[in-house]
Structure 1
């Protein structure tokens, strides 16, 4: 302990902070719940049913980190780099028009959506540069400028469920850390895709989650891992919890933060649907993010964020959920 006290004192005297580095998520209400954001050395799990935006939110965490001046590494087992680029261009187009006030109270603008960006890239420009091609899309030039500003700090690795093993993940993270001089925020999409030759599924999950936690501590970076759900959890009326993540109990033990995404319509109390049918459409437009575990702040906090999947993102202005939510919904006829 005396040695540790001396080390901390030495760091302070050099003008540095000896505590963990905090990486804001860019979602204000989530950052408030996490007392600032994700911390260096933390393992963060993001789970939820398919189609609820796990990859979207994880990628937005990475984007927000580099937009704020940091660095990020995305290991994508699900999507190729071009697919992520399309989302990023649309996201930045929307961000730029929002910043200019070109939206109404519902966050609607004419920024190029993901499909428009995809069509433009598939059609090509007849030899003109990318900047010229994007210039024909609403917000495209602004998106190009944003990407050029932080592009060298956002690293995307097209990972493979056959070859990008845990050892390879370690090598890539260490390589990016050494090259940039600082540990990046790391996103693994998704955890159950990381191969461990010769291991059964539960053993593989345990090995991977323990290895990712050790890596986060080693390099001093927050490591976000998207997690798949057990098939048994993907049934109507069931609200996902940490124990529904596919794998072993090590997922809950090793993680410092667990975030579960749910479609608001699926988890809101039936009372809010019976007495106001108009709520059904409104709730479809929102995702509930439950902070199931949080080592450095409040847990079991339920936040809501509006979906903007057309532009590959969520609206970052969120609130605590006011409606009553349920664990299980039983429908009767």
Structure 2
């Protein structure tokens, strides 16, 4: 166990209200922020709903069915945080670090095209960037030269260079314990001078070294540990949570109760966001008289704020997909159509 870990474990937790008020008074007089630190997500209406963004000390769960864009949304929120000058750590149990970088390059190329007032479709997509990473370069002139041959490729690299030192990617596996994750976060905090925002992709893959325990017990321990990590290290922890396929097979609209493994997910989380394709959860009345409506709705995802400990919940927002470039359009809007509890289409 490292010295950093021991220092965290021996924090004096017994304090009077008088001492806390005096400390708050001193912080305000020094121009510091005595309350939670907020990391904006970069999605305007979501940040408004969450009171500015994601808060230090909070556990945020992001759930959704397979292919709904959970990783895309989460990585984009992390990118927005580091773009704003903060630091971040991504624990990726699902993707290699190079895959995450390729997605980010596709995202940045799309934003570069928009900044140039050109159609996003003119920008190289994530698949094109993957091709550069996977092909041999006969010219051997390096990454910048290779990306320069893609539309907005060099602009994407330049944008990433601006935050590359603040974004840390950890290729996680079955040996990446909560203890190791905490030490990585502490190391980054020491290097940068502030706690980073943390992304775990995904929660059910975080291991626990206890033989024979069932999934519910394991997920309970992991969820409680991630919540403790957020509180101990004063950072927001965003954890992607997989869905229970059996509960979704009935065709119900996905809810917090459908996240796989444990009721602790609902109790421990401070914020729960559920992501769904709009066409799957919009009321039938919006489809039966307009055969083209399904195609339009397919381009949008609904972000449901199911739990929000410090603000409004049961809020339905929608964001437009641009999965080709590994992103969502950041301008969210309130869902105007009526949504249903049961799915319109089942698979």
- Aligned partner of 1:229 among 209, 228, 243: 243
Q: Secondary structure of the residue that 1:46 maps to in structure 2?
A: strand
* Matched-pair contact (CA < 8 Å) for 1:73–1:187: yes
- The question of 1:102 aligning with 2:115 is answered no
Instruction: Give the whole-Å Cα distance in 2 for the aligned partners of 1:215 and 1:102.
Output: 43
- The question of 1:132 aligning with 2:145 is answered yes
Q: Secondary structure of the residue that 1:303 maps to in structure 2?
A: strand
Partner of 1:219: 233
* Matched-pair contact (CA < 8 Å) for 1:237–1:266: no
Q: Secondary structure of the residue that 1:115 maps to in structure 2?
A: helix
Q: Secondary structure of the residue that 1:45 maps to in structure 2?
A: strand
- The question of 1:44 aligning with 2:60 is answered yes
Instruction: Give the whole-Å Cα distance in 2 for the aligned partners of 1:322 and 1:95.
Output: 27
Instruction: Give the whole-Å Cα distance in 2 for the aligned partners of 1:245 and 1:123.
Output: 39
> Kindly tell me: are residues 261 and 331 of structure 1, through their superposed partners in 2, closer, same or farther at Cα, counting changes over 3 Å?
closer
Residues 179-328 of structure 1 mapped to structure 2, 5 A cutoff: 179-197=191-209, 198=211, 199-235=213-249, 237-328=251-342
Partner of 1:111: 123
TM-score by length of 1: 0.96
- The question of 1:64 aligning with 2:80 is answered yes
Q: Secondary structure of the residue that 2:118 maps to in structure 1?
A: coil
* Matched-pair contact (CA < 8 Å) for 1:286–1:304: yes
Q: Deviations for 1:136-191, whole angstroms, at most 9, x for unmatched residues?
A: 1111111111111110000000000x200111111111111112111111000000
- Aligned partner of 2:99 among 78, 83, 87: 83
Instruction: Give the whole-Å Cα distance in 2 for the aligned partners of 1:272 and 1:121.
Output: 43
Structure 2 regions of 5+ residues with no counterpart?
1-16
Give 1:330 shift: 6.5
Instruction: Give the whole-Å Cα distance in 2 for the aligned partners of 1:316 and 1:263.
Output: 16
> Kindly tell me: are residues 331 and 227 of structure 1, through their superposed partners in 2, closer, same or farther at Cα, counting changes over 3 Å?
closer
Instruction: Give the whole-Å Cα distance in 2 for the aligned partners of 1:163 and 1:331.
Output: 39
Aligned length: 327
Q: Secondary structure of the residue that 1:316 maps to in structure 2?
A: coil
Give 1:122 shift: 1.6
Partner of 1:8: 24
Give 1:320 shift: 0.6
* Matched-pair contact (CA < 8 Å) for 1:288–1:302: yes
Partner of 1:54: 70
* Matched-pair contact (CA < 8 Å) for 1:40–1:221: yes
Q: Secondary structure of the residue that 1:183 maps to in structure 2?
A: coil
Instruction: Give the whole-Å Cα distance in 2 for the aligned partners of 1:319 and 1:124.
Output: 43
Give 1:98 shift: 1.1
- Aligned partner of 1:169 among 151, 160, 181: 181
Instruction: Give the whole-Å Cα distance in 2 for the aligned partners of 1:311 and 1:331.
Output: 27
Instruction: Give the whole-Å Cα distance in 2 for the aligned partners of 1:42 and 1:100.
Output: 37
Query: Alpha carbon RMSD of aligned pairs, Å?
Result: 1.3
TM-score by length of 2: 0.92
Partner of 1:123: 135
Instruction: Give the whole-Å Cα distance in 2 for the aligned partners of 1:233 and 1:299.
Output: 23
Give 1:232 shift: 1.8
Instruction: Give the whole-Å Cα distance in 2 for the aligned partners of 1:292 and 1:146.
Output: 34
- Aligned partner of 2:161 among 139, 148, 151: 148
> Kindly tell me: are residues 294 and 331 of structure 1, through their superposed partners in 2, closer, same or farther at Cα, counting changes over 3 Å?
closer
